A = this chain, B = another copy of it.
C-alpha cells in the first residue's frame, strides 16, 4: 500500500495536478525525465485507485484531461508536506552527506583508481 503512494512519479504527478486539470502531454512535459510509458502506467494506477479521474474529450485532435478526485486531493496535500520537508531540509542533508563522505575517505586509505571509478 505504501508502495503505491511513495512512488516517484506518483509524487510528481500529484504535485502538478494540485493546480487543476492537466492534459497528458502537459504532464509529460511538466515532469522532467518521465517516459510516456511510465506516465501512462502511473496515471492508470492512480485512476484505478480513485486518486485521479480521467476525462476523455472525443474531439479532434483527441484530448484527455486528468484531475484529482477528492481522495486524490487529500493525498496530494499529505505528499506536499513531504515535499516541503525535503525542500526545507535538503541542504542539511546534503551537508551531512558530504561530511560523512569526507570522514569515510580518511578510513578507506587510498582511493586509487583501480579500473575506473567506484561502483
Contacts and interface: CB of A to CB of B under 8 A. Distances in A.
Main DSSP-derived SS at the A contact region: helix
| Max count, chain B CB within 10 A of own CB: residue among A2, A8, A86, A90 | A2
Contacts of A1: 86, 90, 93
Interface in A31-80: 47-51, 71, 74-75, 78-79
A75 B87 CA distance: 12
Interface stretch (A21-29, A94-102, A105-113): A94-102
Q: How many copies of this chain does the complex contain?
A: 2
Interface of A: 1-3, 5-8, 11-12, 47-51, 71, 74-75, 78-79, 81-83, 85-86, 89-90, 92-93, 96-97, 100-101
